[in-house]
Amino acid sequence: MTKIEPIRVNVARQFTKLPGARYIKLGPFSGQEFREKFLIEPLRQGNTVIVELDGVRGYGSSFLDEAFGGAVRELDLDIEDALRRLRVETTVKSWQLDVEEYIRTAKNNPSSTRT
């Protein structure tokens, strides 16, 4: 059996250095757009996605919640499975902790992915 390599996404190189708001309707480079473009399909197919967060000006909590928590809500992922397959790499510890918290609490905040 061959090992499937995780899919790596570098936000600054592949998406933007200036992440935006929660929803597409609020402007470019939203958390919703990132989720739809980079996370949903690989996760749906059972892949692991590693998101490299460094290299941007910063992240709003709404962007991170909509991208990561939103993926958990949209795909109805098991929280432990989501934490295993949806990972981040960053030198900014608070971003790492925030993403993990948004994944853990995604099911408690079901209205966030509704536009």
Average confidence score pLDDT of the chain: 93
Q: Per-domain residue ranges for the chain?
A: 7-113
Query: Looking at the whole model, is its pTM more than 0.85?
Result: yes
- φ, ψ at 27 (rounded to 5°): 140, 180
State pLDDT tens for residues 102-111.
999 998 876 5
pLDDT tens per residue across span 48-73 = 999 999 999 999 999 999 999 999 99
d(CA 2, CA 24): 38
